[in-house]
Amino acid sequence: MSKIKPSQGAPYARIMGVGGYRPTRVVPNEVILETIDSSDEWIRSRSGIVTRHWASDEETVAAMSVEAAGKALADAGITAGEVDGVIVSTVSHFQQTPAVATEIADKIGAKKPAAFDISAGCAGFGYGLTLAKGMVVEGSAKYVLVIGVERLSDLTDLEDRATAFLFGDGAGAVVVGPAQEPHIGPTVWGSEGDKAGTIKQTVPWDRFRIGDVSQLPLDSKGEVKFPAITQEGQAVFRWAVFEMAKVAQQALDAAGITADDLDVFIPHQANMRIIDSMVKTLKLPEHVTVARDVETTGNTSAASIPLAMERLLATGQAKSGDTALVIGFGAGLVYAATVVTLP
């Protein structure tokens, strides 16, 4: 018989507050067209994106996260000193170690919380939310800060006609804490590693150590390109629309609700066509509010769901207590979907 006493966590967990940060620089499609042969009409028809935000040198991954975290803490009504855990999902923090979560925790004034980074691409927020829920229910933390943050402008090949217009920068954060009723449903998550090549970094970092320029991509001026994100657009589109609609339905089933019970749908803001196709495939009722933040924010990967959630609440398109289906999907290929009550 085990001598270990049972965990003393909360019965359930909930999202208590949300905050977001978008860099001050707004980049319209006209800027993207300076480096690719395309048109504003083509970009809008393919992605629905009109503008995106790009970070300045001062708007680092850590700096944007601190701003978003501060807003989420204020919204939740708790102080940084009460935070027991900081989880940061990002693929664009270029210092391998230490985790940027530790820097963020220190800058917001948290007192020795567990702090770590995760890399789950555009599904990263869902992964972080699930881990935070587990920490609260298990009893190792009372309040956990979950941050999705990206500077994807650093990983964008501005000469790549297929991806140059897609990516933006920003940070979104939520506070997860205890609840007496279930406000975060079971997570349906997973990966399909056999499709990993459909979204990837062009070259690994260690390729730069070889010193052989012939092994590295060059730009139009013959200079070595910095690693960037590349993808097989059509393959990703088909996977996202058909396979992720199935995952979204599984999340509804796991939560014990139907599409009719939903108030809000917040999918990863990858592409407007993907969002609209998922809405159609899921047969969502007209009363369901659908997040379409991608139009003015672009694809911000791990930050896209909390940023979209924050905007819906701030603009009154969604309200506290609404039932929302959230789903993230991307490089890996990985995915995570769950049903939540909005803070």
Superfamily (CATH H level) for 185-196+229-342: Thiolase/Chalcone synthase (3.40.47.10)
Amino acid letter for position 312: L
pLDDT at 211: 62
pLDDT at 32: 98
* Candidates 53, 122, 183, 271; catalytic one: 122
pLDDT at 245: 96
Strand partners, 341: 323
Determine whether 268 is an active site residue: yes
Q: What is the CA radius of gyration of the chain?
A: 20
**Paired sense of beta strands 264-267 and 323-330, if any:** parallel
* b/e code 232-268 from CB counts within 10 Å (16+ = b): ebeebbebbbeebbebbbebbeebeeebeebbbbbbb
Instruction: Considering the domain delimited by 12-181, tell me its CATH architecture.
Output: 3-Layer(aba) Sandwich (3.40)
Where does the chain hold its CATH 3.40.47.10 domain(s)?
12-181, 185-196+229-342
Measured CA distances, 48 to 35, 135, 256, 276, 292 (Å): 19, 37, 33, 10, 9
Amino acid letter for position 237: F
DSSP 70-82: HHHHHHHT--GGG
Task: Identify the H or E element spanning 108.
Answer: helix 100-108
Q: Which two tokens stand for residue 11?
A: 């019965």
* Candidates 53, 93, 183, 299; catalytic one: 299
Determine whether 53 is an active site residue: no
Average pLDDT for runs of 10 along the chain of length 343: 88 98 98 97 97 98 98 98 98 96 98 97 98 98 98 96 96 98 98 95 80 70 83 93 96 98 98 96 97 98 98 98 98 97 98
* Candidates 53, 93, 268, 271; catalytic one: 268
Contact 157, 202 (CB under 8 A): yes
Determine whether 271 is an active site residue: no
Euclidean distance between CA atoms 299 and 302, whole angstroms: 9
